[in-house]
């Protein structure tokens, strides 16, 4: 026993010492070896960088080539200025990209630690010499020499050592022209502070004014402008770039283009006293036009494509929303054509309830009215034909073919339809109080101008579901009767089945509430079947008061429709036979 205990103790010690050894090895690896390995990798990465500097410390950049020299200096607010060969504002994005490439420039190998003849690598008179002047008065130089005879890349030398390095980067990424490093912004402004835009051309003028959160087009009258179209115009102005600078004053005679300019753009901003002015003059030989602003005497060239973005037609800026009245605020809708007028009135008590008040008095169909309001809310103008109209007869407005009137409180909005286009795809239209003529699609017209048949509520039975206590429907061969008690329904006839599944009783009610007529029948002979209908249905409330009666049957027409009568009224209707077939005709349905 003691021997066994001794063996166990020895094995425990061996296991303990082994565990301590493993912990020690792990601690050495993760505490010493691993950090050292990471440090080694970091040093290798750093050593492969051509120069070690931070681009934020750079205050000046000098780029010298065989026949050119460019000098850039950092200005306030992290901007850059071009000092040589011309004085101008620098292109911040282009300069930051150049610095980022120089900061990340790496070499793949050291070609020569101490070259005897730098000319062998094109580094005695380098193709490009870049000098970075730092904030601590030091400077860093990179010389770009020849491309290697085999493979790609470029030979480099730096101010840090005499070594010749080989980089896989292309020297073309570091060769920059004055144009590339020069700010090419045409107009610099805050688009959120714009309050007026005016574009004057040789034959037309566009004037826009900010109104609240939107814009208005100012002509003989004010038109609501399309917000997205105006924003697109503003973006074109803000991001427009100079195609070419004209620094030689002898190249262009200013008076020849500015006395009668091709295009003038004026921008007025909030809290800014002076307007911004862009003047576009004569055509240049480089597929563009000469231009200048009122901020300097610098002449430049704008491309023909950029100018075309500004030479807009005013109709392209008009708001294409057809109905400007919010659908929730519409109280009355009226449709007029040469034959009839349909007028609908919204209930003052219930937003979703509408009544037809002319040419008949009837409930309007809820689903149809919701669909109509949605169509009015989403309706869009296809395009504008003219901003002003001189002769209404040319477009068919004297008199209009159809009229849609919408009333909201005391205000009335009107849409007039004129002639159709030759291909019948469009209608000419105009709105009350506006002179602009526009096109809306024939498909949209058909959606908006609903017929009386579509608008009226064609449901035959109108009752509150919760008020129903008893339902009886009689077929020639048998009668079925349902009675509701609390949450349950009981089938009383032709046999008693208690507490049938509740949804079956509700399904019968739902079927009854969906019965709609297709048309009214005016023939007196059509009522001869009412004494022997295919089904007679009666609905009572809890007090045994008759709520409604419905009879369906009679001869079918060629469309498979049967006849119907409600509450013994003399009026007879045509209804789809499926309503008759959907009523359960056997108690097996409820088992």
| Rg of the chain on CA atoms, in Å | 43
Cβ 418 vs Cβ 403: under 8 Å: no
**pLDDT in the model for residue 26:** 57
**pLDDT in the model for residue 195:** 94
**pLDDT in the model for residue 224:** 85
* 327-455 is classed CATH 3.30.1490: yes
**pLDDT in the model for residue 349:** 76
- pLDDT for residue 17 is more than 60: no
Interval 529-569: pLDDT, tens: 888 899 999 999 999 999 999 999 988 888 889 999 999 88
Could you tell me how far CA 341 lies from the centroid of its own chain? 38
Q: Using CB atoms within 10 Å of the CB of residue 107, give its burial: 0 to 12 exposed, 13 to 18 middle, 19+ buried.
A: buried
Name the residue among 102, 101, 81, 99 with its Cα closest to residue 90: 81
Q: Residue 509: how many CB atoms within 10 A of its CB?
A: 19
Tell me whether domains 55-181 and 327-455 share a fold: yes
**Which CATH code for domain 191-317?**
2.60.40
- Is the bond into 503 cis (omega within 30 degrees of 0)? no
**pLDDT in the model for residue 316:** 82
- pLDDT for residue 39 is more than 60: no
Name the residue among 269, 191, 262, 288 with its Cα closest to residue 278: 262
Interval 239-284: pLDDT, tens: 999 999 987 766 665 555 677 899 999 999 998 888 999 999 988 8
**What's the chain's average pLDDT?**
85
**pLDDT in the model for residue 447:** 93
**pLDDT in the model for residue 24:** 59
Q: Using CB atoms within 10 Å of the CB of residue 579, give its burial: 0 to 12 exposed, 13 to 18 middle, 19+ buried.
A: buried
- The tokens 């050292």 sit on which residue? 36
- pLDDT for residue 516 is more than 50: yes
pLDDT band, very low/low/confident/very high, at 502 (cuts 50, 70, 90): low
**Which CATH code for domain 55-181?**
3.30.1490
**Domain coordinates of the chain in residue numbers?**
1-44, 55-181, 191-317, 327-455, 465-590
CA distance 21 to 574: 98
Could you tell me how far CA 68 lies from the centroid of its own chain? 48
Read off the pTM.
0.62
Cβ 490 vs Cβ 472: under 8 Å: no
Q: Using CB atoms within 10 Å of the CB of residue 292, give its burial: 0 to 12 exposed, 13 to 18 middle, 19+ buried.
A: buried
Name the residue among 82, 59, 58 with its Cα closest to residue 72: 82
Name the residue among 533, 547, 544, 532 with its Cα closest to residue 580: 533
- pLDDT for residue 22 is more than 80: no
- pLDDT for residue 115 is more than 80: yes
Sheet with 411-420: list strands edge to edge: 362-363, 354-358, 341-346, 332-336, 402-408, 411-420, 426-431, 437-441, 383-386
Q: Left, alpha or beta for 151 (phi > 0: left; psi -120 to 50: alpha)?
A: left
CA distance 396 to 428: 8
Cβ 278 vs Cβ 293: under 8 Å: yes
**pLDDT in the model for residue 42:** 42
Q: What is the sign, positive or negative, of the torsion defined by CA atoms of 157, 158, 163, 167? A: negative
- pLDDT for residue 526 is more than 80: no
Name the residue among 161, 166, 132 with its Cα closest to residue 146: 166
**pLDDT in the model for residue 260:** 84
Helix (H, G, I), strand (E, B) or coil at 341: strand
Higher-pLDDT residue of 8 and 259 is: 259
Element (H, E) at 437: strand 437-441
**pLDDT in the model for residue 143:** 93
CA distance 370 to 64: 73
Interval 45-78: pLDDT, tens: 445 888 888 888 899 999 998 788 999 999 887 7
Report phi then psi at 398, rounded to 5: -130, 80
Helix (H, G, I), strand (E, B) or coil at 326: coil
* Interval 369-375 mean pLDDT: 93
CA distance 372 to 450: 8
């Amino acid at each position: 026993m003691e021997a066994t205990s001794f063996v166990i103790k020895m094995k425990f010690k061996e296991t303990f010492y082994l565990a301590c050894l493993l912990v020690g090895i792990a601690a050495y690896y993760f505490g010493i070896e691993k950090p050292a390995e990471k440090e080694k990798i970091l040093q290798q990465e750093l050593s492969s960088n051509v120069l070690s500097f931070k681009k934020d410390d750079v205050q000046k950049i000098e780029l010298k080539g065989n026949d050119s020299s460019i000098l850039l200096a950092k200005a306030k607010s992290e901007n850059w200025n071009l000092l040589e060969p011309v004085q101008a504002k620098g292109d911040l994005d282009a300069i930051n990209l150049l610095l980022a490439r120089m900061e990340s420039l790496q070499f793949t190998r050291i070609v020569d630690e101490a070259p005897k003849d730098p000319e062998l690598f094109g580094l005695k008179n380098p193709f490009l010499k870049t000098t970075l002047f730092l904030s601590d008065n030091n400077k860093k130089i990179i010389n770009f020499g020849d491309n290697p005879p085999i493979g790609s890349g470029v030979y480099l030398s730096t101010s840090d050592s005499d070594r010749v390095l080989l980089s896989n980067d292309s020297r073309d990424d570091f060769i920059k022209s004055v144009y590339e490093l020069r700010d090419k912004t045409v107009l610099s402004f805050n688009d959120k502070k714009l309050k007026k835009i005016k574009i004057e051309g040789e034959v037309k003028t566009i004037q826009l004014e900010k109104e609240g959160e939107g814009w208005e087009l100012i002509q003989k009258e004010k038109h609501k402008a399309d917000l997205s179209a105006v924003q697109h115009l503003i973006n074109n102005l803000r991001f427009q770039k100079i195609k070419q600078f004209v620094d030689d004053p002898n190249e262009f005679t200013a008076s020849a283009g500015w006395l009668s300019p091709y295009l003038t753009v004026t921008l007025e901003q909030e809290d800014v006293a002076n307007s911004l002015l862009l003047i576009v003059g004569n055509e240049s030989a480089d597929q563009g036009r000469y231009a200048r602003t009122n901020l300097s005497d610098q002449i430049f060239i704008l491309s023909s494509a950029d100018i075309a973005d500004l030479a807009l037609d005013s109709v392209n800026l008009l708001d294409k929303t057809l109905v400007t009245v919010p659908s929730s605020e519409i109280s009355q809708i009226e449709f007029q054509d040469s034959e009839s007028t349909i007028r609908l009135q919204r209930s003052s008590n219930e937003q979703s309830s509408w009544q037809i008040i002319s040419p008949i008095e009837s409930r309007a169909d809820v689903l149809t009215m919701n669909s109509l309001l949605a169509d009015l809310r989403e309706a869009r103008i296809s395009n504008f034909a003219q901003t002003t109209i001189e002769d209404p007869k040319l477009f068919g407005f004297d008199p209009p073919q159809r009229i849609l009137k919408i009333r909201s409180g005391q205000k009335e909005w009107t849409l007039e339809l004129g002639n159709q286009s030759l291909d019948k795809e469009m209608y000419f239209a105009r709105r009350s109080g506006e002179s602009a003529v526009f096109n809306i699609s024939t498909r949209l017209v058909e959606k908006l101008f609903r017929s009386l048949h579509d608008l009226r509520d064609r449901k035959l039975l109108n009752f509150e579901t919760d008020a129903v206590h008893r339902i009886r429907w009689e077929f020639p061969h048998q009668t079925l009767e349902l009675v509701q008690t609390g949450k349950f329904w009981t089938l009383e006839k032709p046999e008693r089945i208690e507490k049938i599944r509740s949804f079956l009783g509700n399904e019968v009610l739902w079927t009854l509430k969906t019965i709609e007529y297709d048309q009214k029948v005016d023939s007196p002979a059509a009522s001869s079947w009412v004494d022997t209908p295919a089904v007679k249905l009666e609905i009572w409330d809890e007090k045994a008061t008759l709520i409604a009666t419905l009879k369906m049957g009679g001869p079918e027409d060629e469309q498979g429709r049967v006849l119907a009568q409600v509450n013994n009224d003399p009026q007879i209707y045509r209804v789809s036979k499926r309503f008759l077939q959907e009523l359960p005709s056997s108690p097996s349905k409820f088992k």
